[in-house]
Structure formats: C-alpha cells, structure tokens
Amino acid sequence: RILGKFGARLAQLRTRADARIDLWGGKDSEFCRLEITARNKEILESAVALCEELNQTLQNAFQEFLAEVSGGQAAPSNKTREEACAGGNTATADAGERPRQGVRKKLLKLKRASPRFDIGKQLCGCSRENLTHIEDQTGARLKVIPATETSNCILEVSGPNEECIAEAVPLAKDLISTVWSRYERWFAKTAAK
C-alpha cells in the first residue's frame, strides 16, 4: 500500500518532498521503515510531514479495513508517535550519513578512468535514473562514491538483507560493464584525436 501501483505513490512522495525516501522492510517483517535523506533541515522537515501524513492515511485505511472484517467492531486506537517510535514502528528521518542498523553493504570498485569522462555521473544517468531503476527493482540502495586522487570510483550497494544485495549486485555489475564499454569507446575516440 505504501508503494502504490508500480511504486507510483512512493515516486510521487519523493517528487513532492524533493528528498530521497527509501522504504525498508515490510516484506517478511511486520513493520516497514521509511528513511528520508534531504539536502537541508527544511526539506527534511517537510518530507517527514508528508511521510507522517501518508502514514496516518494508511493507518486510517487499515482501521477501516479491520472494522469491516470484524463486523463493525472498532479496532484498537492508533499508537501515539512517541509510542510508535519506542516500538520501532515509525518513519525514520536521517539528515546525515549515519550508519543504519541492520543494513548490509557491498562495494563494487571500478577501474581508474579519466576524470574528464566522469564515470560517476555516467553510472547515475540523468536524474539518477540508472540507479533508481535498480533500486526500484530490488529494494536495494545504490550510491556512487566518486574517485579521488588516491582511490577509484566505487558503487556502493546497500540493503536490509542479503537477498536484496544478491539481487541488486548483478544488475549493478551489468550497469558498470555498460558504462565501462562506453568509456572505452570514448577513450579510443579521444586518444585518436
């Protein structure tokens, strides 16, 4: 229900909030968690408010559903936000890059490439479309760690469990292979000039 058909509701929420909103859990566990990453505190607070609004809408719909299936008996009232936070049933707002408990990571290191090609930008695609495609298919989160003078570019794949990572890594490797082939063609043309 949070995602909507083909993830439409979550995509709309991301657009309205102008923030990164990831959904963790909810498949094999009773609870799911929304993680929000924003450029600044104002955007973060706005995104949290939108997520809380969505959460309240979903809770109300669930209460109505419970009332229907229980023959009109009202379901127990919703927890307060403080009670939900204490129980782990809430959206999590994270403005920084703090490590998240229970998240697994796999680092895919790329070969050294010319900085003029900007391999990180090529991996992301226009508006992160390449990464978002893999994220939407697998539930994993992808992040490009740019190259520095002493280290190569890295594509970080993270997720709530090993299955999620195992599903995303082959797709990420295919993306890397495609971008690397594009780089080799670009490099050959550039060297020929």
Stated pTM of the model: 0.49
Higher pLDDT, 142 or 76: 142
User: Residue 52 carries which side chain, given as an amino acid letter?
Assistant: E
CA–CA gap between residue 90 and residue 51 (Å, rounded): 10
- Name 159's Cβ contacts closer than 8 Å, sequence gap at least 6: 103, 104, 138, 139, 140, 141, 165, 168
CA–CA gap between residue 38 and residue 146 (Å, rounded): 19
Residue 120 has pLDDT above 60, yes or no: yes
Q: Report the alpha-carbon angle 87-90-96, nearest 5.
A: 115
pLDDT for 67 equals 79
Residue 105 has pLDDT above 80, yes or no: yes
Rounded average pLDDT over 48-75: 74
